[in-house]
Amino acid sequence: MVMTSGRYDLIVEALSVDDYVDMVDRIRVLDGVSAVEASTYLATVKQTYDWGVG
């Protein structure tokens, strides 16, 4: 989960194999959530977690 200064206030990346629609519906009804936009990854080209923090 990250706070942003762009088009979106908050971006959440979640992994859901079983019930993607249920997960999105549960987020949509949370207090303070005005809109939900969901995307599906087609492919992961590169994923690195070596940010050198800490």
Assigned domain for 54 exists: no
Q: In residues, how long is the chain?
A: 54
Per-residue pLDDT tens digits for 2-44: 888 888 888 888 776 678 888 889 889 999 888 888 888 888 8
Measured in degrees and rounded to the nearest 5, phi and psi for residue 44 equal: -105, 115
**Does residue 48 belong to any structural domain of this protein?**
no
Amino acid at position 47, single letter:
Q
Q: Is residue 47 part of a domain?
A: no
Q: What is the CA radius of gyration of the chain?
A: 14
- Structurally, the chain folds into a number of domains equal to 1
- Which residues share a beta bridge with 2? 11
Q: What is the residue range of 35's domain?
A: 1-40
Please tell me the predicted confidence (pLDDT) of residue 54.
60
Q: pTM of the prediction?
A: 0.57
Whether 49 is in a domain gets the answer: no
d(CA 24, CA 16): 10
The pLDDT of residue 6 is 83
**What are the structure tokens assigned to 30, written together?**
């949370």
Instruction: Please check the confidence at residue 52 and state whether its pLDDT lies above 80.
Output: no
